Amino acid sequence: MSKPIAVLVGSLRKESYNLKVAKVLAKLAPSSLELKIIQIGDLPLYNEDIDAGTPPAAYTRFRNEIAACQGVLFVTPEYNRSTPAVIKNAIDVGSRPYGKSVWAKKPAGVISVSPGAIGGFAANHHLRQSLVFLDMPTLQQPEAYFGGVANAFDAQGNIAEKSQEFLQQFIDAYSSWFEKTR
């Protein structure tokens, strides 16, 4: 039986390279894992006042979807040398209310995706700082920085062979490490 893995995509653009990469990862994942892209664009900015009592439906939906998964992959662009606000907000929503985090002990993987040459290095490492606090063991190797992504897909949305090999190595490493960690 395949294990559900949440995939959070940090770019909300319809034709996002990050979303394309997440979809490729889902296709390349071994049958032991079922990658599920979890929507985060509808989450209101975290606010403890609106979370008290009856939280917004989007908070509840998101927390339940993450709680039902056994691991998490983050596919993130880099905005201003950090992660996009939508990723940070999802992390905050999932970590509250205090003491009821849906993140704890879920094995995580991070891949940063960028048209630039350094492949979102700063966002990747900035995100990892939050994962330490959330008690999410995180795949250390291979580090995954997908630079030059604008050249990785053709006009039909097909990924170049070399890029597919890179993503295959990443998802295979995550899968193997996930099994050892769980």
Helix (H, G, I), strand (E, B) or coil at 151: helix
Q: What is the largest CA-CA distance in the chain?
A: 51
Q: Domain range for residue 30? A: 3-181
Question: What pLDDT is recorded for position 157?
Answer: 87
CATH code at position 80 = 3.40.50.360
Alpha helices in the chain (DSSP H): 17-28, 48-51, 57-67, 85-95, 121-133, 161-181
Helix (H, G, I), strand (E, B) or coil at 3: strand
**Is-contact 72 111, C-beta < 8 A?**
no
Question: What pLDDT is recorded for position 23?
Answer: 97
Task: Identify the CA nearest to 93 among candidates 138, 136, 57, 145.
Answer: 57
DSSP bridge partners of 3? 33
- Radius of gyration for the chain, computed over Cα atoms and rounded to the nearest angstrom: 16
Helix (H, G, I), strand (E, B) or coil at 24: helix
Angstrom distances, CA of residue 100 to CA of 65, 76, 134, 141: 14, 25, 11, 29
pLDDT tens sequence for the chain (182 residues): 899 999 999 999 999 999 999 999 999 999 999 999 999 999 999 999 999 989 999 999 999 999 999 999 999 999 999 999 999 999 999 999 999 999 999 999 999 999 988 889 999 999 999 999 999 999 999 999 999 999 999 988 899 999 999 999 999 999 999 999 98
Question: What pLDDT is recorded for position 63?
Answer: 98
Question: What pLDDT is recorded for position 67?
Answer: 98
Q: Show the tokens assigned to 11.
A: 């770019």
Provide the domain count of the chain: 1
Question: What pLDDT is recorded for position 117?
Answer: 87
Q: Is the pTM of this model over 0.85?
A: yes
Question: What pLDDT is recorded for position 45?
Answer: 98
Q: Show the tokens assigned to 118.
A: 């350094």
